[in-house]
């Protein structure tokens, strides 16, 4: 039986090669692929932040369902006869959001994220926001909700993912060769400006603040001169001052921020109860389900003020852990943005991360009485169909960028087909020309047949380097005879060392 050569032993069938992708880099990846590790067939540098993001996302969604049930059970039992009423609805909204996440991340074709499709989506959002004023419903002086086929939703929330995707395309075009900032301002004003104006007159100042801050951060990431950002911040500060003067209720929120105990049973009622909930939670909390503020004390306990219930039930350490998980989610999203294959993907992932972080901070700082309360829900946690679905849609945008980063094209497939051959395909070499070089080298041609091959002349002393034949340089000197006998080379006579006399003077 013939033994296989070591080279043949190195070859493996395709199935074995596929099963070893976790530890063996794919062929043809170049310098970047040398020593690269794989997780489930995807490079570890791409898969690792994706796994961290998915783990944090799953943890936050599950924790949100738990806290919605804990914070709403008393009110649900009193008003609807079932303690799980809000939990069941939130679970159904979460299922819809997960389906939207999967569709955006993996199923939706690339054409759905092109400029034309996003323009149509923004026009549709303008129509929905306009319909809010015609057939919409509201509360507390704001008209923000629209009901279609018995399903109530908030169109201003659904504007966020489309605004981020469209802004990423426009910013990528601006900072590409030949880009024009005037074209960017024109397109943003034409397709996004009317929606911003309609949200402003609802009024929903918090949503406008979140969207504009996110777009400014995306512009800064894209390479915009910070001077423009400073100018935009100053202009925004002027607009905020005007908005505070025009609407008196906004000035009331500023007064509550400065001293919530000035009217603790009036305008500062929710703020003071939220502070009391955090204070009563202590270091370790009262325990899940043991909150006292949810017993009709704290309004909107399962919605905008759910963070106060979290602080009361899990305490300072539990709240800190919750903050760390959310921070890890945002950090992994930025890591995904770093691995994007183009500027558009990087801006879309980073913009989605920024808008989630900004909304989280606005809600958390508002409940902690560090920032005026704007009524924005806590992403992935607060009760509400629009909030959880849109938050998961933003997560879908981030995961889509991660999948695009690992997407293999035709060039990758062709590089994977490269392999080391068992024997050379260059043919049999033969000597070029009729004479060999004088320096001991021979010029060869490749791709020759065996009949054309000419054997190289073999000398009698082959296997040992040969000294070239000495020449008479005309310098009139004698060269020492370096023969094979070392003792003879060192032996001297009266005339000095033995030398060769084959060089003669001119």
Per-residue model confidence (pLDDT) at position 432: 56
pLDDT per position as a tens digit, 335-348: 999 999 899 999 99
Domain ranges of the chain: 58-139+151-405
pLDDT confidence bin for 157, thresholds 50/70/90? very high
Q: What is the three-state SS of 58-119?
A: HHHHHHHHHHHHHHHHHHHHHHHCCCCHHHHHHHHHHHHHHHHHHHHHHHCCHHHHCHHHHH
Alpha-carbon torsion 42, 396, 57, 339, what sign? Answer: positive
The reported pLDDT for the residue numbered 458 is 53
Q: What is the pLDDT of residue 31?
A: 43
Cα gap 357→336, rounded to integer Å? 15
Q: Residue 238 above 90 pLDDT?
A: no
The model's pTM = 0.74
Q: Which residue has the higher pLDDT, 306 or 447?
A: 306
Q: At what angle do helices 155-174 and 193-200 cross, to 10 degrees?
A: 150
Q: What is the pLDDT of residues 166-194, one digit of tens each?
A: 999 999 998 888 778 888 889 999 999 99
Residue 27 near residue 416, CB atoms below 8 Å: yes
Phi, psi of 466 (to 5 degrees): -105, 140
* pLDDT mean over 200-226: 88
Sheet holding 137-139, edge to edge: 137-139, 142-148, 151-153
């Amino acid at each position: 039986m013939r033994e296989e050569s070591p080279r043949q032993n190195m070859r493996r069938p395709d199935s074995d090669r596929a099963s070893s992708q976790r530890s063996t880099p794919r062929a043809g990846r170049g310098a970047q692929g040398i020593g690269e590790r794989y997780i489930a067939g995807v490079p570890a540098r791409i898969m690792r932040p994706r796994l961290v993001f998915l783990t944090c996302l799953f943890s936050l969604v599950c924790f949100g369902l738990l806290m919605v049930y804990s914070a709403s059970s008393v009110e649900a039992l009193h008003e609807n006869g079932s303690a799980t009423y809000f939990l069941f609805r939130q679970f159904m909204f979460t299922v819809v959001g997960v389906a939207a996440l999967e569709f955006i991340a993996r199923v939706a074709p690339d054409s759905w994220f092109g400029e034309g499709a996003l323009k149509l989506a923004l026009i549709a959002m303008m129509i929905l926001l306009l319909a809010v004023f015609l057939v919409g419903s509201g509360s507390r002086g704001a008209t923000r909700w629209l009901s279609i086929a018995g399903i109530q939703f908030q169109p201003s929330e659904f504007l966020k993912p489309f605004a981020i995707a469209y802004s990423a395309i426009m910013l990528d075009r601006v900072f590409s060769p030949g880009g024009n900032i005037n074209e960017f301002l024109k397109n943003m004003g034409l397709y996004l400006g009317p929606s911003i104006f309609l949200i402003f007159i609802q009024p929903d100042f918090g949503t406008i603040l979140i969207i504009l801050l996110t777009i400014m951060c995306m512009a800064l990431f894209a390479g915009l001169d910070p001077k423009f950002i400073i100018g935009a911040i100053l202009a925004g500060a002027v607009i905020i001052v005007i908005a505070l003067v025009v609407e008196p209720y906004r000035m009331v929120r500023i007064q509550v921020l400065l001293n919530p105990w000035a009217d603790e049973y009036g305008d500062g009622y929710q703020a003071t109860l939220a502070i009391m909930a955090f204070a009563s939670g202590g270091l370790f909390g009262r325990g899940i389900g043991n909150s006292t503020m949810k017993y009709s004390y704290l309004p909107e306990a399962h919605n905008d003020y759910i963070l106060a219930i979290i602080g009361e039930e899990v305490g300072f350490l539990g709240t800190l852990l919750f903050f760390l998980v959310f921070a890890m989610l945002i950090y992994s999203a930025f890591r995904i943005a770093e691995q994007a294959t183009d500027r558009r993907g990087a801006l879309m992932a980073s913009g989605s991360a920024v808008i989630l972080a900004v909304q989280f901070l606005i809600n958390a700082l508002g409940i902690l009485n560090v920032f005026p309360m704007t009524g924005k829900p806590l992403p992935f946690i607060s009760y509400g169909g629009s909030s959880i679905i849109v938050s998961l849609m933003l997560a879908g945008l981030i995961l889509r960028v991660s999948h695009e980063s690992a997407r293999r094209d035709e060039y990758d497939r062709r590089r994977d087909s490269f392999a080391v051959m068992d024997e050379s395909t260059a043919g049999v070499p033969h000597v070029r020309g009729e004479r060999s070089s004088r320096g001991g080298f021979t010029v060869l041609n490749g791709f020759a047949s065996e009949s054309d091959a000419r054997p190289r002349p073999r000398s009698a002393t082959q296997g040992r380097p040969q000294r070239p034949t000495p020449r008479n340089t005309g310098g009139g000197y004698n060269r020492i005879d370096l023969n094979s006998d070392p003792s003879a080379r060192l032996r001297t006579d009266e005339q000095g060392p033995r030398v060769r006399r084959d060089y003669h003077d001119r």
